[in-house]
């Protein structure tokens, strides 16, 4: 009596179908896991950059780069995140890779001048006395000092998107607070409540718009103090 070996065509097709089904189920889960891992990496980098700000402040009477040891804007009153990154990178507070989000395509800084081609994250604009007073190691749980940048788009529905989203989608990204906790938020304003200095709570604070000049708010800038 002969013994059957191998698969019939039908059995082979069934196996292939099962494998295809499993791949279809697993791929989205793997994609989500990869996205979550990248978000966690981004949050780690944001926390590391904030650690560098705090370490810098220890030698600058508690003030972060961009302010003198007296808490005043440096000569000329200029303020730009690129200058802050340059000070921190040149002094070796963190490697160039830390300044680039895992969701972004940028050139890793190795030496020389630092430009927006070398970093992904926005920093707090010094728009007034409240933000200026907060640009130091205050351990304020309600003050945002660093975040994923907002990319402007002409849309009333979603005026900003991020390196994590498509232009047709709302902004989401990492936010670093002044007590060194980091959150990954799904909106640049919804549920973002901030307090700077002794000012009242600014509810649903828009990260990329100085929307309440009478209150200290989280106006995050990527280029300079007058532009995102």
Encode pLDDT of 54-87 as tens digits.
999 999 999 999 999 999 888 766 678 999 999 9
100 lies in a domain? yes
What's the rounded Cα separation, in Å, for the pair 146 and 46?
7
214 lies in a domain? yes
pLDDT greater than 60 at residue 225: no
33 lies in a domain? no
Boundaries of domain holding 217 = 45-221
pTM exceeds cut of 0.85: no
161 lies in a domain? yes
pLDDT greater than 90 at residue 228: no
Q: How many domains does the chain have?
A: 1
Residue 226 confidence (pLDDT)? 44
Residue 24 confidence (pLDDT)? 77
76 lies in a domain? yes
Q: Which of 92-101, 117-126, 215-224 has the lowest mean pLDDT?
A: 215-224
Residue 173's nearest CA partner among 159, 182, 186, 160 is: 186
Residue 126's nearest CA partner among 187, 199, 65 is: 65
181 lies in a domain? yes
- Give the Cα-Cα-Cα angle 86, 213, 154 (nearest 5 degrees): 70
Residue 227 confidence (pLDDT)? 46
What's the rounded Cα separation, in Å, for the pair 207 and 80?
16
121 lies in a domain? yes
Q: Which secondary structure element, helix H or strand E, spans residue 36, and what is its range?
A: helix 9-58
pLDDT greater than 90 at residue 215: no
25 lies in a domain? no
């Amino acid at each position: 009596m002969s013994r059957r070996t191998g698969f019939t065509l039908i059995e082979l097709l069934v196996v292939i179908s099962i494998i295809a089904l499993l791949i279809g189920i697993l791929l989205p889960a793997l994609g989500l896991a990869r996205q979550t891992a990248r978000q966690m990496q981004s949050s780690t980098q944001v926390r590391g950059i904030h650690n560098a700000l705090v370490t810098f402040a220890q030698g600058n009477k508690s003030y972060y780069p961009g302010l003198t040891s007296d808490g005043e804007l440096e000569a000329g009153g200029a303020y730009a995140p690129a200058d802050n990154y340059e000070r921190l990178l040149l002094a070796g507070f963190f490697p160039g890779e830390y300044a680039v989000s895992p969701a972004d395509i940028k050139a890793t800084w190795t030496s020389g001048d630092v430009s927006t081609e070398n970093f992904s994250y926005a920093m707090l604009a010094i728009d007034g006395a409240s933000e200026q007073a907060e640009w130091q190691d205050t351990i304020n749980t309600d003050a945002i000092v660093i975040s994923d940048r907002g990319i402007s788009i002409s849309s009333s529905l979603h005026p900003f998107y991020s390196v994590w989203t498509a232009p047709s989608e709302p902004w989401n990204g990492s936010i670093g607070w002044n007590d060194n906790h980091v959150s990954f938020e799904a909106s640049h304003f919804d549920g973002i409540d901030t307090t700077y200095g002794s000012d009242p709570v600014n509810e649903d604070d828009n990260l990329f718009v100085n929307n309440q000049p009478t209150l200290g708010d989280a106006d995050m800038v990527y280029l300079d103090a007058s532009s995102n």
